[in-house]
């Protein structure tokens, strides 16, 4: 059985912050990162799992079913 790679920890932190703060800009402020850096980290986590974790809305973000399971 092949070993699964561990999820990228910075992506998990960014994902958690986005859920807690309701968006990448606010999460970035909390993590002392730019909005772009938070978005890139979450995108890396989505690539790792092969699923969208966040639904982009106007305004804000909401977790998808996969995102809720990860949370």
- Per-chain mean pLDDT for the chain: 91
Instruction: Answer for the pair 19, 63: CB distance below 8 angstroms, yes or no.
Output: yes
pLDDT at residue 59 in the model: 79
Instruction: Answer for the pair 53, 45: CB distance below 8 angstroms, yes or no.
Output: yes
Residue 4 has pLDDT above 70, yes or no: no
3-class DSSP state for residue 23? coil
Is residue 16 packed enough to be buried (19+ CB in 10 Å), middle (13-18) or exposed (0-12)? middle
Mean pLDDT of 51-70: 92
Instruction: Answer for the pair 30, 17: CB distance below 8 angstroms, yes or no.
Output: yes
């Amino acid at each position: 059985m092949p070993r699964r790679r561990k999820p990228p920890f910075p992506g998990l932190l960014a994902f958690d912050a986005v859920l807690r703060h309701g968006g990448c800009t606010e999460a970035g402020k909390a993590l002392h990162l730019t909005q772009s850096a938070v978005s890139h980290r979450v995108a890396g986590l989505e690539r790792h799992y092969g699923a969208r974790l966040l639904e982009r809305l106007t305004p804000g973000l909401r977790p998808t079913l996969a995102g809720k399971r990860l949370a």
